Structure 1
Amino acid sequence: MNYTRSTALIALGVAATLSLTACGSDDSAKDSSSKGSSSASPSSANGGSESESGSSSQGSQTGAAKPGLGEDTASRPGAPKTGGKATTGGKVSFCKTANLAISASNAAPDKTSGRIDITMVNRGSTTCSATGFAGVDIKDADHTSNPIQRGHAQPRITTLKPGEAAVFNLAYDIDTTGHSLASPTDILVTPPNETHTVSLKWPTRAGKIKGAYTDVEVYPTHTTE
């Protein structure tokens, strides 16, 4: 009986020890799990912030890479270039009357075709445009002024550097009968796109005008080259 009790007590002691050991291992496992989760939490929090930061950075980079953002518009075809004359499209201002030396001469090719050349020399310091039709009136001996109509011709680009010349012509038929009623004394010239007029003497060797002043035509400017 004593032996049996001793054996039973020993068995109970072993069972209790095993139970305590199991409980301890569970607690340590829980502590370990708890510590693991708590130590992982800051890591994941930092990872989350890094992920968000990376996402934000990536988003801004993606935004910068969108077509049309951050591009050099001057490199696009047709876009205006900066600097110099390109900012104004390369346009040149029209020649001012004050900067032109203007003269008239007889240039009739034969005895029946009248032609007067009116030359304009750019005496300014910059390049200018004399493109188009000049305004022309012919003053008669009776002190009347007669506007001259334009001939059927298309204007040509006429750009003058300092010292260069442009010419336009007055054309008419020469009267060979000796009964012309026109007695021109002066030619009033207003350069293309200008409002200031100069008065030139009618060339002395120019033939008489056949018909009326309405039969005289003015043609657009062109360079002498």
Structure 2
Amino acid sequence: MRVHKLTVAALAVAAGLSLTACQNGDGGTGSSSPSPVSTASSASTSGGGSGSDSSNPGSSDQGGGKESAGKNSGGTSSGGKGTTAGTGSDKSGAVGKCRTDELEITAKDNTIDGDPDGTVAVRLKNRGGRDCAIFGYAGVDLKTSAGSLSAKRTGEQANHVVLKDGESTAFGVNYPINKSGGSGVRITGLLVTPPNETKTVTLTWPGAATLPVTDGTGSPVKVGPVGNAGQGG
């Protein structure tokens, strides 16, 4: 009986030790593992935040890109003011020159009865959709049965002219009237090159049909500056 009691006691002590060990093991695992997991989670969150800002500079660049685009918009807007570019002005406020392709060029007889010479008025109308500036003398050549005849400048002071879209200016071409009774030199056309341009337009000659025959020294045809239509206004 004593042996049996000792054995039961020994089993009870062993069971108690085993239970204590299990409780200690569960508690140890429970108390120690949540802490590292929480720490890792926290580090992961904070590392992710820092990764967005620094390890992904592309994000920052895109933000900068937006800001830059905003500045570009501002530039466009100021460029819009420079629609003064639309009005033909550059950044300095200067108005661009009138181009041949922007001008509607026509010619008409402008001779006044009793004048010793004939006059043709050449009109230049701005059709470019912007303001443009024109200054000086146009190049003028008459096509004749004897070849091309270049007009000489009168030497008058030229004025700067700014044409708004739809506005016109003019200059005069003076030529001697053929009173000789002979056939003279037949005029077949008028060539006009606006000031500071290289493109020429060909017009029908609206004046007298012929020029008197000359000795060939100098040109009998004269051209005035833009802004002066010559005789007859």
Task: Give the TM-score of the pair, scaled to structure 2.
Answer: 0.54
2:225 maps to which residue?
A: 220
- Structure 2 equivalent of residue 120 of structure 1: 124
Aligned mates of 1:120, 1:219 — CA distance in 2 = 14
Q: Unmatched 5+ residue regions in structure 2?
A: 1-80
SS in 2 for 1:98: helix
User: What is residue 133 of structure 1 aligned with on the other side?
Assistant: 137
Displacement after TM superposition at 1:162 (Å): 0.2
CA distance in 1, matches of 2:92, 2:120: 35
* CA deviations over 1:37-73 (Å, ceiling 9, x no partner): xxxxxxxxxxxxxxxxxxxxxxxxxxxxxxxxxxxxx
Q: Which has the larger radius of gyration?
A: 1
Question: Identity over aligned residues, as a percent?
Answer: 35
- Say if 1:175 and 1:208, in contact at 8 Å, map to a contact too: yes
Query: In 2, Cα distance between the equivalents of 1:135 and 1:87?
Result: 26
Q: What pairs up with 1:1-225 in 2 under 5 angstroms? A: 84=82, 88-111=91-114, 112-142=116-146, 144-179=147-182, 181-203=184-206, 205-206=207-208, 208-212=210-214, 214-222=219-227
Q: Read off the aligned partner of 2:106 and give its amino acid letter.
A: S
Report Cα offsets for 1:171-190 as digits up to 9, x if no partner.
Answer: 12312222253211111100
SS at match of 1:183: strand
Query: Which letter maps to 1:101?
Result: E
Q: Deviations over 1:69-88 (max 9, x none)?
A: xxxxxxxxxxxxxx856974
The amino acid of 1:115's aligned partner reads: T
Give the Å deviation of 1:209. 2.7
Alpha-carbon distance, 1:210 to partner:
3.7
SS at 2:219's partner residue?
A: helix
TM-score normalized by structure 1?
A: 0.56
Asked whether the 8 Å contact 1:172–1:210 carries over to 2, the reply is no
Count residues in correspondence.
141
